[in-house]
Amino acid sequence: MPTQYIIGIYALFFVGIYFLIIRPNSKRNKQAKEMRDNVKSGDRIITIGGFVGRVRRVSDDELEVDFNGTALKVKKWAISTVESMEALSEKDVQ
């Protein structure tokens, strides 16, 4: 088997790995970073530990979150899900 075929097979393998694993993972990371950067005061968040609270204040890399009357500081990287105030108010109306 010529060397060109082997190099071609390896190239196809790495292109496939890129499109099946690397690219979707980088897109997911970009969306998560965008979500964490757009957190506003009043939004409801769920942390990676499963705690649910409402954001009081936002700083560069930390949030002050009200967990049912208890205010705690949470790092932005610990946010799993954000539900904005607008989305929550539309749910309540329906």
Confidence of residue 84 (pLDDT cuts 50, 70, 90): confident
Pair 28, 52 in one domain: no
Pair 88, 44 in one domain: yes
Provide the residue range defining the domain that includes 60.
40-94
Number of domains in the chain: 2
Sheet holding 70-75, edge to edge: 70-75, 62-67, 52-58, 44-47, 79-83
Pair 49, 85 in one domain: yes
For residues 48-62, average pLDDT = 94
pLDDT in tens, 9-49: 999 999 999 999 999 999 999 999 999 999 999 999 999 99
Pair 83, 45 in one domain: yes
Pair 25, 66 in one domain: no
Pair 4, 32 in one domain: yes
Please tell me the pTM assigned to this model: 0.70
- R_g over Cα of the chain: 21
- Asked if the model's pLDDT at residue 90 lies above 70, the reply is no
Pair 18, 62 in one domain: no
Pair 5, 29 in one domain: yes
- Asked if the model's pLDDT at residue 7 lies above 70, the reply is yes
Pair 61, 25 in one domain: no
